[in-house]
């Protein structure tokens, strides 16, 4: 499959891999702004790793028929995709904010139990009503944290840009997954079923089906994600 040519488009539709083009990326939002936002080579290195992890876990958008990491390079959606920031602690880079265990974006999280640097990732979907936003961000969270031995961060925290109409509810779900991961070291998913997705307990990965439009709220880790009505 040629992941760079969804719907027959050519490579001119995308910025080059390994490039950092800020005008073709969403601006860092409130979840990232107080922290050290990744730019230039720092952004590129982590995003290229993200592409590999998403490929392994199947974090795909079926509407565009590509690995979700490609969204950052898709010139048709210049305000959509992921941005990243290294979380700053009161004592310097790489920890969590000195907030007495309180999540700085409004929800309690046991971050004092995290031993190592923390990365923040903020996802901006292509539309404010994207119905797949929860599915995509949960899949991304599980890919990054389920394969944590592949990068330098003890935790990757994920949130949705506030431009999405349901960002508060999606962020609540992501906070809960974060708490569970910090407490147990598990990203969840196996044996869990929600909407379109069902876990494969034997393989440790999830698969999603898209048999009808009612299945647009599934949250399998990475599953190939279908959005039949509005794109994400």
Residue by residue, pLDDT tens for the chain (232 residues) are 334 444 434 466 876 777 766 777 889 999 999 999 999 999 899 999 999 999 999 998 877 888 999 998 888 888 899 999 999 874 445 555 433 333 445 444 556 778 899 999 999 998 899 888 899 999 999 999 999 999 999 999 999 999 999 999 999 999 999 999 999 999 976 433 222 222 222 233 333 322 222 333 333 333 333 332 233 3
Domain contains 117:
yes
Rounded Cα distance between 45 and 152, Å, is 12
Q: What is the pLDDT of residue 74?
A: 86
CA angle (45, 95, 172) in 5-degree steps: 85
With respect to residue 219, please indicate whether it lies within any of the assigned structural domains: no
Kindly state whether residue 18 falls inside one of the protein's structural domains: no
Residue 168 lies in a domain: yes
Residue 20 lies in a domain: no
Which pLDDT score is estimated for 86?
97
Look at strands 118-124 and 66-67 and give their pairing: unpaired
Q: What is the pLDDT of residue 21?
A: 64
Assign 3-class secondary structure to the chain: CCCCCHHHCCHHHECCCCCCCHHHCCCCCCCCCCCEECCHHHHHHHHHHHHHHHHHHCCEECCCCEEHHHHHHEHHHCCCEEEEEECEECCEECCCCCCCCECCCCCECCHHHCCCCEEEEEEECCCCCCCCHHHHHHHHHHHHHHCHHHCCCCEEEEEECCCCCCHHHHHHHHHHHHHHHHHHCCCCCCCCEECCEEEECCCCEEEECCCCHHHCCCCCCCCCECCCCCCC
Residue 19 lies in a domain: no
CA distance 153 to 108: 20
Q: Report long-range pairs for 36-45 (Cβ below 8 Å, ≥24 apart).
A: 36/85, 36/86, 36/88, 36/93, 37/83, 37/84, 37/85, 38/83, 38/84, 38/85, 38/86, 43/83, 43/84, 44/18, 44/19, 44/20
**Alpha carbons 154 and 159: distance in angstroms, whole number:** 17
> Looking at the 3D structure of the chain, how many domains does it have?
1
Structure confidence at residue 77 (pLDDT):
84
Residue 227, in any domain of the structure: no
Which residues span the domain enclosing 168? 25-211
Cα 176 to its chain centre, rounded Å, is 15
Residue 170 lies in a domain: yes
């Amino acid at each position: 499959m040629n992941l760079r040519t969804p719907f027959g488009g050519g490579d001119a539709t995308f910025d080059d891999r390994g490039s950092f083009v800020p005008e073709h990326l969403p601006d860092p939002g409130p979840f990232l702004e107080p922290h050290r936002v990744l730019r230039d080579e720092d952004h590129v290195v982590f995003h290229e790793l993200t592409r590999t992890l998403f490929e392994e876990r199947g974090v795909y958008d079926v509407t565009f028929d590509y690995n979700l990491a490609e969204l950052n390079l898709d010139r048709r959606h210049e305000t959509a995709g992921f941005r990243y920031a290294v979380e700053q602690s009161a004592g310097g880079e790489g920890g969590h904010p000195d907030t007495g265990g309180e999540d700085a974006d409004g929800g309690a999280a046991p971050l004092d139990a995290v031993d190592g640097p923390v990365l923040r990732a903020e996802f901006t979907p292509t539309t404010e009503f994207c119905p797949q936003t929860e599915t995509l961000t949960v899949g991304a969270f599980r890919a990054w944290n389920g394969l944590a031995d592949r990068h330098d961060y003890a935790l990757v925290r994920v949130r949705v840009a506030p431009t999405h109409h349901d960002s508060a509810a999606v962020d609540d779900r992501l906070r809960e997954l974060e708490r569970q991961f910090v407490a147990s070291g598990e990203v969840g998913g196996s044996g869990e079923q929600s909407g379109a997705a069902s876990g494969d307990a034997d393989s440790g990965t999830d698969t999603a089906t898209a048999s009808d439009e009612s299945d647009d709220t599934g949250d399998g880790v990475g599953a190939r994600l279908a959005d039949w009505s509005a794109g994400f």
